[in-house]
Structure 1
Amino acid sequence: MPLAGVSTVACFHKNLYKLETVASEILNELYVPQSIILTLETFLSQVCIHRVRSCSSIRFIKSKYVCVFDKSTLKFSHQQRLFRTSAVSCGQIVQFKLADIGEGITEVTVKEWYVKEGDSVSQFDSICEVQSDKASVTITSRYDGIIRKLHYNVDETAYVGKPLVDIETDASKDVAPEEDVVETPPMSHEEHTHQEIKGHKTLATPAVRRLAMENNIKLSEVIGTGKDNRILKEDILNYLAKQTGAILPPSPKAEIIPPLPKSETVPAAPKDKAHKIPVSRPIVFSGKDKTEPITGFQKAMVKTMSAALKIPHFGYCDEIDLTQLVQLREELKPLAQLRGVKLSFMPFFIKAASLGLLQYPILNASLDESCQNVTYKASHNIGVAMDTEQGLIVPNVKNVQVCSVFEIASELNRLQSLGSAGQLGTNDLTGGTFTLSNIGTIGGTYAKPVILPPEVAIGALGKIQLLPRFNGKGEVFKAQIMNVSWSADHRIIDGATMARFSNLWKSYLENPASMLLDLK
């Protein structure tokens, strides 16, 4: 490096030292690379000079002494070259890693850098824009410092958890564990320059900066009410309200709004523009997910329903007129109560199903796992689906084919009491051959019941509704209508068989007296 002659060194107050020079013409075109350390023997231990170009009054003494500059060099125009210095005392290099962007993204493409090596950055300053296969994301700085290295070029692939840039931070400040800040969408260069006015840094979070950008607001024009004049979201919303005349929802906390000068008036915005600016508040929810093991009846249901998926289901639906059965039950209820039994419609449904199974025994059968043999069950052990606090359970009434309606009602009362108390035994829950699910007690009309292996058929009963119907003379009358939905194993049961069984079961319920002819 060429050096000029030596002149007299004089001291200015504290940190400013000036060396009288006679060789400014020689150094006019001098370029000094960044990070050249020149020491001043008495006063400074280290001074790092970055990007020195054509300073008007500067000269070097020996390597032992520092070069100093005239104040006038700080006042430069666009034609003059930049002279910038920054004092560093043993700065530490922090590797700024690409944080997890979410949604399973492991790599992104660097689309644009907003900084270059040697630039100074502050917290929340935009560093770069990256593109994943789902969105464009702006990465913002976690630290205050100087960019020392960019690990990727534009259009190169960056990986989550790997260093993105190296930042030299001030050693006198404690550096917190790395927690990268990610914000979308990217901020334009024009909006980015609004953050720094005359050396003053506007304090705002990335979310506030994004809100300002979306509404074309310069942060320099907004008065911050937060700590250290930080601009809050409410400040942006208030600014919007003043500009557009929009009415904001009440804020959860008091807002400090500085009064406007008397001479300053806010121009009224056109009414047709007020509705174009959406104002919304994020919904805060503090709930947490909870994971529990599957146990008890629920675990058994998982196993049974998984096996049921292997069965090809055939569905069949119909409606039943229960007007006569409703009248019959009302007559028999007091007699059953005298015997200490609660008489519902279910005993009639079960007994009618048993009478139908005598005519169509294929519905009371089972198919082996190899689908080679069908076993016809002698007993009609008809299950009844029950909704309990422990979950769905299906106890069954044994040997319905030899039981009366009253005996079926008595057994149902026992099973319901034990089921509510969670005291049903293994014998009550196993051995079923056919199932009815009275989903209508909860609600609904039609359903799609799932067969319980090794059974081959199941019926779901809807709620009873009072509906208008026509009689044989074409007259409208009030009818008690219930819908039924059947599912059958289509490997061994065809649709015609299911329909005929349903018609027979329907005839027993629509004309209860006909059951007397087939009772044994």
Structure 2
Amino acid sequence: MSIHVIKVPDLGEGIAEVELVAWRVKPGDIVAEDQVLADVMTDKATVEIPSPVVGTVLVLGGEVGQVLAVGAELIRLEVAGADATSELPASASTVSQATAPVMATAPVPTASRVAAPTPPSSDKPIASPALRRRAWELGVDLQQVVASGAGGRILQADLDAHVAAHGSVHGWGASAASGLAPRDDEERIPVIGLRRRIAQKMQESKRRIPHFTYVEEVDVTELEALRARLNAKWGAQRGHLSLLPLLLRALVLAVREFPQINARFDDEAGVVTRYGAVHLGIATQTEAGLMVPVLRHAEAHDLWSSAAEVERLAQAARTGQVTRGELTGSTLTMTSLGALGGIVSTPVINAPEVAIVGINRIVERPVLRGGAVVARQMMNLSSSFDHRVVDGIDAARFVQAVRAYLECPATLFVE
């Protein structure tokens, strides 16, 4: 037997280090050729590192969240044959591409491997919060449970097997179901990978940009009525319209009147660049975190083509298929929490842009109109601006222009 060392590969020009975001193996695992060993993240992509050989894992070269230099030892394997030290070539597979302001990571299937169940250890057991609570209710010490999951994770079946073999100790657990028992459990979750990138980007945006937020309510009763009519007439042939394409249309028209909103600010050079093209970032929540795919040339799309493209981009982001090019170059961003949108929000600007438009939920409520109280569908717009380059009066006028288009939807189609 001999030792085979795999080093962090050179993943592209200008990349000197990577962040270790996940281990797929642990010491003692037998790995197959081309089996994924680890996931690493550069500033451009999340990459899988496969094994070029068959062997047994001896030593892992770092902890999740650690930054490793290119060429550093990643993992050490015991293999049959002569001694070898291998630096993996840059053929490691890219899981997904991204760049600031948002990084994309894709769900990665668990690689097949042969691994013996993990015996109890003195380390903190790896298990989900739900499983930890159930073990606590049963009075079971998870350190005594044999783990069979990837990376030493304790599965539900492992806990069931332990209880079947050893029984449970009912103490506090007898009253835990009532919800009145005291708790002292805690879980430490490292902020790594995409979550770290998002945290760094948000921190940088708030640190460098003096935000101010302007909130205005919009009566979208007529807009919703129009949308319903369009769907009734064209939905079967052209697809169902949500409110989003109509909002995008209003933004496209409003920035023609206020070009300082559709801009990016290079604060190092002291230059604001205004754009004729509206490359609209659509903030999208995924299992991996927040991503902002870009609807390019929103000004050139009609309602149905913008709806189809936004849906395609959102689906690509959620499934990890979005490309780096689809996540960069936005000139203005829209964000919404849909039905959870609340009545007011203070969105963070997607730097180096100078504005972001936040959409709150639609609520039917009584409104005074012509001396009568009537039910209307009302929605708030919560928009943030970079006060260094956007004056308060211009921000207010821009939002009022958007409101005017939405409250009189016929004007959306008049050039």
Q: Quick one: which of 271, 280, 292 aligns to 1:394?
A: 292
Given residue 489 of structure 1, which amino acid in structure 2 is its aligned partner? D
- Cα distance, 1:324–1:291 mapped onto 2, change above 3 Å: closer
Instruction: Quote how far apart the aligned CAs of 1:393 are.
Output: 1.0
Map 1:284-295; keep pairs closer than 5 Å: 284-285=182-183, 287-295=185-193
How many aligned positions are there? 238
Given residue 344 of structure 2, which amino acid in structure 1 is its aligned partner? Y
Name the structure 2 match of 1:459.
357
Name the structure 2 match of 1:163.
none
Name the structure 2 match of 1:432.
330
In 1: Cα distance, 2:172 partner to 2:229 partner: 63
Q: Quick one: which of 206, 221, 224 aligns to 1:323?
A: 221
Establish whether residue 347 from structure 1 lines up as the match of residue 245 from structure 2.
yes
Establish whether residue 304 from structure 1 lines up as the match of residue 182 from structure 2.
no
Instruction: Quote how far apart the aligned CAs of 1:477 are.
Output: 1.1
CA contact (8 A) 1:342 1:413 kept: no
The alignment yields a C-alpha RMSD, in angstroms, of 2.0
In 2: Cα distance, 1:516 partner to 1:291 partner: 50
Structure 2, unmatched stretches of 5+, are: 1-170, 174-179
Q: Deviations over 1:221-262 (max 9, x none)?
A: xxxxxxxxxxxxxxxxxxxxxxxxxxxxxx979xxxxxxxxx
Map 1:115-194; keep pairs closer than 5 Å: none
Instruction: Quote how far apart the aligned CAs of 1:417 are.
Output: 1.8
Q: Deviations over 1:312-364 (max 9, x none)?
A: 01211110000001101111123443235331001111110011011101001
TM-score normalised by length of structure 2: 0.54
In 2: Cα distance, 1:446 partner to 1:286 partner: 35
Q: Deviations over 1:119-151 (max 9, x none)?
A: xxxxxxxxxxxxxxxxxxxxxxxxxxxxxxxxx
3-state SS of paired residue (2:226): helix
Instruction: Quote how far apart the aligned CAs of 1:370 are.
Output: 2.3
Establish whether residue 415 from structure 1 lines up as the match of residue 304 from structure 2.
no
Instruction: Quote how far apart the aligned CAs of 1:501 are.
Output: 0.6
Given residue 315 of structure 1, which amino acid in structure 2 is its aligned partner? T
Name the structure 2 match of 1:380.
278
Instruction: Quote how far apart the aligned CAs of 1:293 are.
Output: 4.7
In 1: Cα distance, 2:172 partner to 2:413 partner: 73
- Cα distance, 1:468–1:252 mapped onto 2, change above 3 Å: closer
3-state SS of paired residue (1:303): helix
Name the structure 1 match of 2:398.
501
In 1: Cα distance, 2:318 partner to 2:231 partner: 23
- Cα distance, 1:252–1:449 mapped onto 2, change above 3 Å: closer
In 1: Cα distance, 2:379 partner to 2:269 partner: 35
- Cα distance, 1:322–1:284 mapped onto 2, change above 3 Å: closer
Given residue 476 of structure 1, which amino acid in structure 2 is its aligned partner? V
Structure 1, unmatched stretches of 5+, are: 1-250, 254-281
In 1: Cα distance, 2:350 partner to 2:408 partner: 30
Instruction: Quote how far apart the aligned CAs of 1:286 are.
Output: 6.1
- Cα distance, 1:285–1:342 mapped onto 2, change above 3 Å: same
Name the structure 1 match of 2:414.
517
Q: Quick one: which of 369, 374, 380 aligns to 1:477?
A: 374
Instruction: Quote how far apart the aligned CAs of 1:390 are.
Output: 1.1
In 2: Cα distance, 1:415 partner to 1:337 partner: 20
Higher Cα Rg, which structure: 1
Q: Quick one: which of 366, 384, 395 aligns to 1:487?
A: 384
Map 1:207-218; keep pairs closer than 5 Å: none
In 2: Cα distance, 1:286 partner to 1:303 partner: 31
Q: Deviations over 1:271-325 (max 9, x none)?
A: xxxxxxxxxxx955363433335113x2321232122021001211110000001
Name the structure 2 match of 1:446.
344
CA contact (8 A) 1:465 1:482 kept: yes
Instruction: Quote how far apart the aligned CAs of 1:384 are.
Output: 1.2
In 2: Cα distance, 1:252 partner to 1:372 partner: 63
Q: Which portions of structure 1, spanning 4 or more consecutive aligned residues, are displaced by more than 6 angstroms?
A: none
Instruction: Quote how far apart the aligned CAs of 1:406 are.
Output: 1.4
Given residue 361 of structure 1, which amino acid in structure 2 is its aligned partner? P
Given residue 367 of structure 1, which amino acid in structure 2 is its aligned partner? F
3-state SS of paired residue (1:363): coil
In 2: Cα distance, 1:371 partner to 1:489 partner: 16
In 1: Cα distance, 2:334 partner to 2:288 partner: 20
Instruction: Quote how far apart the aligned CAs of 1:416 are.
Output: 2.1
- Cα distance, 1:313–1:252 mapped onto 2, change above 3 Å: closer
In 2: Cα distance, 1:349 partner to 1:446 partner: 17
Q: Deviations over 1:143-193 (max 9, x none)?
A: xxxxxxxxxxxxxxxxxxxxxxxxxxxxxxxxxxxxxxxxxxxxxxxxxxx
3-state SS of paired residue (2:361): coil
In 2: Cα distance, 1:284 partner to 1:496 partner: 54
CA contact (8 A) 2:341 2:359 kept: no
CA contact (8 A) 1:445 1:461 kept: no
3-state SS of paired residue (1:328): helix
